[in-house]
Structure 1
Amino acid sequence: MPTAHTTVLAEVGRRIVRGDLAEDTVITLDWIGDTYGVSRTVAREVVQVLVSMGLVESRRRTGIRILSRAEWDDYDPAIIRWRLEGDQRLRHLHELAELRAAIEPASAALAASYADADQRTEIVRLAEQMEASGAAGDLQLFLEQDIAFHRLLLRASGNVMFAGLGDVVEGVLRGRTDHDLMPPEPKREARRLHQVVAEAVAGGEAEVARHAMTAILAEVVSDLGHDH
């Protein structure tokens, strides 16, 4: 059950990201309280989170000012989610797919070199599960396994900066499914390539893992480009 805090945060955050609350607009704790029927304490907590996201700045004398687009924390999972709900959804998905295409092939290659034995076993197991759920057309189960697959590779790379992109990658994968941008059944070729990546990581073949992941993400960027 969402709390008053999370509900109001989502409402105000969406309004800023959509542009309904434009840059340099000044709002107050009282405005948040009156608009959403919450206490000053809840309003203050919401503002603290919005400040941490780079959406607003709060000053004692000037109030709470909406910041420019350039100040936002674009890697924040909530901002990704809100942007994917807007009318620029496809553009944003394309940007995120290009980010993945830059990072994940390198991550897969590093995982082939640095993954521990448990991670190598787990990546193969996940690829096999994805093949089964994908062939059965179970998109929801496939999505959860796909998220686990890509998160595991980012972690197994041994690079904490790559691992930190797990939430971003999850946001993209969920966004594609939530907004009906996935085919009704995950493509057989994409499922096969996930298995190639998994086996290459398990076998320590860095360049094979890199090339297979590059092929997966080239397909994603290309698909989004057609809708772009």
Structure 2
Amino acid sequence: MAPQTATANLIETIAKKILSSEYPESTLLPSENELAKDFKLSRTTVRSALQALSAKRMVTIIPKKGSFVNASETWNWLDHDILGWLSSIKVNHSDLSHLMAARLIFEPNTSALAALNATAKDLFLMEEACDEMQQGVEQGDRSLFNQGDIKFHRALLIASHNPFIIAIGDVLSKGLVLSFSHTMDKNLPESKPAVAEHVKLLEAIRLRQPDAAREQTRVIVLNAIRKNQEAEPNYISHIG
């Protein structure tokens, strides 16, 4: 195993243990020697992995004491790696709730900008994405439905034609994929209303109706939140 690959694998392994609370917040990680022994790697590799996690603010390295797991509020949640790792483990309710609140803040206003700025090409890409979602439902193809859903939201970002929104959206894209994976209907035919909701949003954007686009996006995100949470979060009436 190449050193770089060994380091990357160890970073991911330790990060997932932190994200899943196997290594709880505010606790001391096993020592470098223990980690090296457990994973059959050199101390140099272990040290490099811990330094990378420190850069992501997941741990704090204190000389002569060890590495402590930081409170989740300090982690760099916009880091592509962290969001990617989250997608492959069981996400706790609190983290997912925070992510959905971020979507509720971010997406409705992005849609309003898209209604003001979308080009014919943007509209075509969103329509194409809706078609893929519809085909996924009709064919019972979850992968195709997901592909269309992600493509729609990516096209929506681009349609804002705001470089800052697009940049933020790129960072959040893995988070959106993560939230999709936790808010999908268990039976694909039950996703048919979701297709209609996206088509309605597309029409509001096509007709240059920013208020309608904002409200329809809020409906889409709220429905996703309600699929995942037993009780309605208290933030719903205050944001979005």
For the pair 1:93 / 2:100, whether they are aligned, the reply is no
Contact 2:29 2:66 in 1 (8 A): yes
Call closer, same or farther: CA 1:29–1:221 in 2, change over 3 Å.
Answer: same
Query: Compared with structure 1, are the counterparts of its residues 101 and 84 closer, same or farther at alpha carbon in structure 2 (3 Å cutoff)?
Result: farther
Structure-2 residue corresponding to 1:191 = 195
- Structural mapping, 1:1-228, within 5 Å: 3-22=5-24, 23-80=26-83, 81-82=85-86, 85-86=89-90, 89-157=92-160, 158=162, 160-161=164-165, 162-163=168-169, 164-176=171-183, 182-226=186-230
Q: 1:139-161: CA deviations, max 9, x gaps?
A: 11111221121122123321524
Pairwise CA RMSD: 2.9
Aligned equivalents of 2:52 and 2:118: distance in 1? 35
- Matches of 2:154 and 2:111, distance apart in 1: 11
Tell me the distance in 1 between the aligned counterparts of 2:27 and 2:220: 41
Number of equivalenced pairs: 224
Shift of 1:108: 0.9
Task: Tell me the distance in 1 between the aligned counterparts of 2:145 and 2:87.
Answer: 24
Query: Which amino acid in the other structure matches residue 172 of structure 1?
Result: S
The runs of 5 or more residues in structure 2 that have no matched partner are 233-240
Question: Counterpart amino acid of 1:40?
Answer: R
| Structure 1 residues 140 and 120: alpha-carbon distance in aligned structure 2, compared to 1, 3 A threshold | same
Question: Which amino acid in structure 2 is aligned with residue 160 of structure 1?
Answer: F
CA 1:36–1:191 in 2, change beyond 3 Å: closer, same or farther?
Answer: same
The TM-score normalised by the length of structure 1 is 0.82
- Distance in 1 (CA, whole Å) between partners of 2:82 and 2:127 is 32
Segments of structure 1 that go 5 or more residues without pairing to the other structure are: none
Q: Structure 2: how far apart are the matches of 1:190 and 1:156?
A: 20
Which SS does the other structure have where 1:65 is aligned?
Answer: strand
Equivalent residue number for residue 235 of structure 2: none
Change in 2 beyond 3 A, CA 1:204/1:66: same
Assess if the C-alpha contact under 8 Å between 1:83 and 1:92 holds in 2. no
Cα pair 1:15 1:21 within 8 Å, conserved = yes
Deviations 1:58-94 (Å, cap 9, x if unpaired)? 24443322222332223335444438734x6344333
- Shift of residue 110 of structure 1? 0.8
Contact 1:53–1:72 (8 Å) recurs in 2: yes
CA apart distance, 1:183: 3.3
